[in-house]
Structure 1
């Protein structure tokens, strides 16, 4: 499977500073050689020019939405997100944080945490925080909390998305009204460049299955896009920084395209991590961040197949609403 795919797709198929931020943008000296550790990164403009972090923040100043991609769990990608968030805030404190890592149905839990009505352990448990929350996303949420910034739980709930992948986009029509609001009003199912890129990453040869899987994939992108567009409609002076897997962000094909389709007047910019072997397409508008490649997940093919089988097997326990004419409300 294409290494650009986020860990969210894999699931489907189956510290903050304690002091107030500086009034000056953070600055990272440009690195002129390959990253030496997993925390090192080098920033480049879309034209290939090396940039400091403060220069990147300045270049993003007029964006309504800044999409920052990641390899989930990559130290440099998460370090960049936290540092860029602080740098953007230093030049414009009128900001909000949007996250793939929290879903719409948990917005009230996130709000309770920001208001100090619950503790972090409750946020993690009741908010269905990702397993790497404490190491990778705590710095972002704590920065927002410390500076009284909104955090948008932007994504669609994973069980619903997995049911779309299993039954197709028509599954949304079976949802109760409350749950239907947790996913975008409409899904982008056209054969656009994002659809083509997704199809190219699929190798199982089942066309109908691929269509259902893409409907699930774009359910994430459309929901995150709609969440941000709706927020900006109510808060037009805000700038949003959004964190998501890089397949959603890269080249402006996923979430960015769905934001623009909903509001063409918004300016959306992308910051995408890359390695020597994993690059964005030539001419892409992304600001790129060179990082050390993540380790090879599996060397032995049989071990990989066993792991994938375990992930795919999760769908056997998936409970989805059946069609109205069926005798029961749920199937497995």
Structure 2
């Protein structure tokens, strides 16, 4: 009897389901493979990898995709990232070209606090493989200016400063669902008294501040799209890393890319944390061309 129970326990243990760190799905939530994602990435003009900034699975997959696209399209890969601001391009390029050290890069550029763990491996691979790496994000001082004063504040910038952002005047469609959700979120925060008084002024109404918050997001999206297009050539794959919110639902950066080049072959990747990676919720449909589901209790990098 004991032997039978022991055998049954062994069988139950041997058939316990695997615990995958992630799963891949199409936009319609059909299970798919990394091989298919890679193939489509090599065929695309622009790949927007929407990451969760503190998720190690995202960062590992970004590195693997970079390596594999480089193998498939050696000499025709360009990298870009939200994590580098346009006025830090010289510092980034000098590092990629091995003109400076990692210590010098840290003093010359505004690196994110998680750069060493999450983005340095990709940056170092680009350095080793001589892959161009483009700083695409608007300098934060200008995004902050828009958030506080609106887009018209950018008109006062110098010609040199304007070269670091998307061309003005900038069209912003605040009716796009992503921006509208930000406005709603900020409006709810102001009504509940949770907005930061240091970022508000008495001359602005809560609706003004919420709209400017969305416009600040738009100047980031537009600037990233602009510098992607400025540094992409026919036959190349431009692999861009950005927070998921900047490209999910085919909005944000995608919208601005489409305004300038409607025929551009764009592939998007969205990342979500879920309770069960094998059962993505219906609400995760159509977030992107490829969906990465990651356990919600995955270890974070910060």
CA-CA distance at 1:89 after TM superposition: 1.7
> Which of 281, 285, 290 in structure 2 is aligned with 1:282?
285
Inter-partner Cα distance in structure 1 for 2:299 and 2:68: 32
| Deviation per residue, 1:122-178 (Å, 9 max, x gap) | 112211111111100011111111111100000101111111101110111111111
CA-CA distance at 1:212 after TM superposition: 0.9
- Residues 1:193 and 2:196 aligned together: no
User: Contact conserved, 1:272 with 1:288, CA < 8 A, in 2?
Assistant: yes
In the alignment, what sits opposite 1:140? 122
| Deviation per residue, 1:164-222 (Å, 9 max, x gap) | 10111011111111111111114332222332232233222511101111111111100
CA RMSD of aligned residues (A): 2.1
In the alignment, what sits opposite 1:312? none
| Deviation per residue, 1:213-249 (Å, 9 max, x gap) | 11111111000000001112xx222111100111102
- Equivalences for residues 111-130 of structure 1 within 5 A: 111-130=93-112
Inter-partner Cα distance in structure 2 for 1:199 and 1:250: 17
The structure having more radius of gyration, on CA atoms, is 2
| Deviation per residue, 1:269-290 (Å, 9 max, x gap) | 1111112279665334430111
TM-score normalised by structure 2 residue count: 0.80
| Higher RCO, 1 vs 2 (CA within 8 Å, ≥6 residues apart) | 2
Gaps of 5+ in 1: 1-31, 298-332
- Residues 1:73 and 2:54 aligned together: yes
Inter-partner Cα distance in structure 1 for 2:103 and 2:87: 18
In the alignment, what sits opposite 1:102? 84
Inter-partner Cα distance in structure 1 for 2:87 and 2:117: 23
In the alignment, what sits opposite 1:257? 255
TM-score normalised by structure 1 residue count: 0.73
Inter-partner Cα distance in structure 1 for 2:235 and 2:285: 33
- Residues 1:42 and 2:20 aligned together: no
> Which of 175, 190, 193 in structure 1 is aligned with 2:157?
175
Runs of 4+ in 1 over 3 A off after TM superposition: 32-35, 277-281, 294-297
- Residues 1:267 and 2:265 aligned together: yes
Inter-partner Cα distance in structure 1 for 2:223 and 2:46: 15
User: Contact conserved, 1:156 with 1:183, CA < 8 A, in 2?
Assistant: yes
Gaps of 5+ in 2: 1-16, 192-205
Residue correspondences, number: 260
- Return the structure number with greater helix share: 2
> Which of 166, 186, 191 in structure 2 is aligned with 1:184?
166
